[in-house]
């Protein structure tokens, strides 16, 4: 029995998510602090990363924030800060809200880890 290949819909993305990424993503928990202004008032929000890359991070946060909210993200272990924004609408999860943050400028070294090389792929069995 042969299986028919499913053709992608016209205009549909045909690359898997990892191949569309701008930089390698690494699963990493790092405590962070977000400094944002909401209704003209400064607000401090504590969160933790779920995944990081040179372009930003996916955060686990106790509250949701609107898309395009500008913020300052602080790496709590190094106290280094970078400006960024909420890239997409956060998703609710059992632990809180998954908040995608994008840095204003990609910054290698911000997370103080070595990322896998760009062509790295897990071994398939």
- Domain ranges for the chain: 25-103
CATH number belonging to domain 25-103: 2.40.10.220
- pLDDT for 121 equals 77
Look up residue 63 and give its two tokens. Answer: 């509250």
Taking the whole predicted model, whether its pTM rises above 0.85 is answered as: no
- pLDDT for 35 equals 98
For residue 5, the cross-strand partners are: none
H-only helix segments in the chain: 17-20
Coil, helix or strand at residue 18? helix
How far is it, in rounded angstroms, from Cα 121 to Cα 92?
A: 29
Write out the chain's pLDDT in tens, 125 residues: 444 443 443 443 434 444 455 677 899 999 999 999 999 999 999 999 999 999 999 999 999 999 999 999 999 999 999 999 999 999 999 999 999 999 999 998 999 998 777 777 777 76
* Locus of tokens 């977000």: 34
């Amino acid at each position: 029995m042969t299986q028919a290949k499913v053709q992608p819909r016209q205009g549909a993305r045909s690359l898997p998510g990892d191949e569309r990424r701008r930089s390698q993503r690494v699963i990493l928990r790092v405590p962070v602090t977000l400094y944002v202004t909401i209704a003209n008032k400064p607000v401090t929000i504590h969160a933790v990363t779920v995944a990081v890359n040179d372009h930003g991070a996916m955060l686990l946060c106790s509250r949701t924030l609107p898309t395009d909210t500008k913020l300052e993200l602080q790496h709590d272990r190094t106290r280094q800060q970078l400006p960024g924004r909420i890239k997409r609408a956060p998703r609710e999860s059992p632990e809180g809200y998954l908040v995608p943050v994008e840095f204003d400028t990609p910054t290698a070294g911000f997370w103080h880890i070595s990322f896998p090389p760009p062509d790295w792929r897990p071994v398939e069995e």
